[in-house]
Structure 1
Amino acid sequence: MLDIQLPPILLGRVVVECRGIKLASFLNLITKANIRVYDIYWVDEHRLKMTVLLSEFYELVKLMKQNQVRMRILHKSGLPFYMEKAKKRKWFYVGAILFLFSLYGLTSFIWNVDIEGNKKIPASQIQNILKQEGVFVGQWKRRLPDTVLLQENLLRKMDDTSWVGVRTEGTRMIITIVEKKVPEPNDDQAKIREPVHLIAKKNALIYEMKVDRGNPKVKVNDMVKKGQILVSGIYGDGEQNNTNQIAGAKASILGEVWYESEIEIPLVQKKKVYSGYREKGRFPYVFRFQLKNPFFSPPYKQYEQIQQIDRMRVGNWELPFGIIEEQYLEMQWVRSQLSEEEGIKLGLEQAKLELLADLGEGSQIVAEKILHHRQENGKVYVKVHFDVVENITEKQPIFQGE
């Protein structure tokens, strides 16, 4: 038969201090009684400390009484003592366990369905379709349909969509809708209905003209000023009103416009370089307090932290607790020294990007020239001239009597 001995931490152990005159003979009696003691430490001639198992502690007490040895308990440890403490605080532990189970249970359901990107399709219509597919507030996560299948079904049931995205973040499901675009003018000129004149919205050199309707007043390579009529919406000689025909103007006119940009570039560039390694951590929070592991430390020396809060919701009600997911992206700052030539090149590219961003779609830089540059205080200052081809037309209503 195997003699299996459990570790002392499971059996329970007691550290005691013994006082008496004949402690050496007392230790001999302990050995004869087969009482297991260890970590014996002599404090002085009449005092010693020792550790005894809880199962043999009461035998040791009897032996002490028989030999007039006094005892003082210094420390108690082990599973039996932990269990005794737990009995006294059982409702605390019961509450903690119930809280953890409740937290786990709440995170197993979808408490919020967010729809983003829809402008023309009513949210109520999308919610009805989602409900038909088994996606609604209070749905168990394990019963959610397959993401790819859900995307295909939503795209099939909504004719006005060109793409549908589905993602789940904790207890939140996010539906991203990309609606089909209907071509329409972007600017305020769309509010002006024909018939109209087409006028120049800025000084320019006419680069290209395609007139579909109207009476052209300029031609390619003409210089025009802001507000000048490019294509008139009126046919006729203009002397007698009864000979004029108002048809409205429609044309595509590109003009060459000149711009100057000034930009400064530091010669010492500092940028982040990511290693590609990342770690994630999930921590609960209650109210404004994050319940983070006190022994947790970021896994990298240099990192960028991305934090995402998953709030618990019941319908439209936001609960005061949830989960915070933190991502740690390993990175390091790298400094590089640019030459003056490299600084000028970088400044030119940056000036082009800024100019095109201001002008919008359809604009094209056809020529560029550096007018001036200088290096001063660790920076390069660049002044650039740009020739840009862009749409220069603007609508102007035809007023009565023209």
Structure 2
Amino acid sequence: MSGKGADWLKGMVTVHIRGGEPEELVNKALAGGLQLSSIRWTSSGLLEFELSVSDFFGLRAYLKETGCRAHVIERKGLPFLLVRAERRKLFAGGIVLFFALIFMLSSLVWSIEVQGNTKLSEDQILLAAREEGLYPMQWAFRLTDTDVLSKQLVRKLPGSTWVGVEKKGTKIIIQVVESTIPEQASLQTPRHLVASSDAVVTEIIAEAGRPVVKKNTRVKKNQILISGTIGGEEFSRTVVARGNVRGLVWYEFEVYSPLVQHVKVYTGEQKTKWFAVIGSRALQVSGFGKSSYTASETIRHEEKVSWRSWSLPIGRMKESVMETRLEDRTLTEEEARSIGILQAKADVLSKAGSDAVIRDEIVLHEKADNGKVYMKVLFEVEQSIVKEMPLVQMQGE
């Protein structure tokens, strides 16, 4: 053990020497075997040094010989800490209880997270884990070894090839790898690909079947684009037509946009509430009483106690209740027009498909009346224009 550590265990005191012959006191004490350290003169002319508690009692004889008096100004070390703890039994007991509670809480399994499952449900996996003794609020030292637990879960979960169990602080992570079964291709009947709407073809790619239209051709709804019949009249056969055909489609929208909008704003007034969090429960500790706000929005922020990779299920939560109000915002006709067109574009793309692209927009008519801007807008959209039509249906016709 280092010298400082040994001194802390024995207990050290710092003293000031008054009266008598201080230099003679130091010389005799050192000659008598006492260990004095940090010997110095203070700004007020007093001699100061440090010594252990046992040496302090041995210093009395030399104080009498030299006519000096010793005044203790500082005490440090384990003996004095124990004395203070004896005087504050309730406080010391609280500290012991606190650390005991932290140890108990960190020895529990508070949450189980399942990862990697697609076909197996989370409830199915958690039920199998519970049958093996793994569930929330279980003592960690009562759990089976993770390697053994992994093998047992694989046997209980049909369709899994590997199950990993990892403990991170108070959380258990179950990683599942499921067996992959190749999907069987569904049987498809021969078909044509036809136009889903009137359009002008911009691109046609036939993967299977016979293309019957070309780029820049105007087509009608239900017109065949890629035929499922290939070959000559004598040697023709039917196939499942596949491919991609894109074209320009036109959408006409009637749009109206108000010149006055109701907007939610924050007033800057807020009320803060603090909660002590243990597991999934929260106990309010400050900010009691209802807020007087007519309208408000609540934002929660939670902090958990953590140390390195350990995360304990205790912490605190801050709840901020912020006052809001509705304000009227007056728009210019140009701003209302832009907002209306943006809304119409969103409607067009939701109708035309995720791969659609708006190529052009034309405002056919526009007027402002009764606090609103009315418009008739024509959108030119490039999108997929194919839909399937079974050959059986065509033969029936």
Taking structure 2 as the reference length, the TM-score comes to 0.47
